Structure 1
Amino acid sequence: MAKYRKKPVVVEAWQLIEGTVMPDWMLEARRTGVIQPCEGGAIIRTLEDGPNGEAKHVASMGDWIIKGVKGELYPCKPEIFALAYEVAE
């Protein structure tokens, strides 16, 4: 079976920590309903959700919210984020 490596891409990410300032893309996502605050975190509509947004992804406090290459948002647990991402120059 073949093995594959993820292409190196630069993404924007923000850690969901109470009291931190949201970047503009997060504020826009809240304004448009892509992300909605909930108790203990946020609910995110992602590309996989389909046209009616039936499926939702939950980001808990401390999780990272990543803006992908197509502008999609998705949550990532801090320990996975630390393994998969590093600061880009």
Structure 2
Amino acid sequence: MKFRKKPVVIEAIRYTGVNVPLLAKYEQFVGQTLEVRDRDNVLCLLIPTLEGEMTASPGDWIIKGVKGEFYPCKPDIFAATYDPV
């Protein structure tokens, strides 16, 4: 059997890096305080997901899912899956 993904409109914000104003912007989008981690001299965000914490690296998208959940998405997957509306 084959299946087609249902068309769904999502909200997303691109993580471009972190400083105080940008961190506040990401936290406002997610609705909670986010932890910043240094991974090999790259400041990443820890995103609480339904499966546990996931890491958003600069360039990744943070997506709000259909049930209000959040998760990071790599830019190539985002571009292949979503179109702007």
Normalised by the shorter chain, which TM-score bucket?
0.7 to 0.9
User: Partner of 1:12 in structure 2?
Assistant: 11
User: Partner of 1:52 in structure 2?
Assistant: none
Distance apart, 1:11 and its partner CA: 0.5
- Structure 2 residue matching 1:87: 3-state secondary structure: coil
Q: Work out which of the residue numbers 24, 42, 47 in structure 2 matches 1:44.
A: 47
Structure 1: 5+ residue stretches without partners: 50-55
Same amino acid, percent of matched pairs:
46
Query: Per-residue displacement from partner, 1:6-28 (whole Å, max 9, x unpaired)?
Result: 111111000101268526323x2
Letter of the 1:25 partner, please give it.
F
More strand by share: 2
User: Partner of 2:62 in structure 1?
Assistant: 65
Query: Per-residue displacement from partner, 1:29-77 (whole Å, max 9, x unpaired)?
Result: 32xxxx422222111121123xxxxxx2111111000000111001100
What TM-score do the two structures reach when normalised by structure 2? 0.76
With 75-84 and 37-46 compared, the bigger mean Cα shift is at 37-46
Structure 2: 5+ residue stretches without partners: none
Q: Once superposed, which parts of structure 1, at least 4 consecutive aligned residues long, lie more than 3 Å away?
A: none
Question: RMSD between aligned alpha carbons?
Answer: 1.8
What TM-score do the two structures reach when normalised by structure 1? 0.73
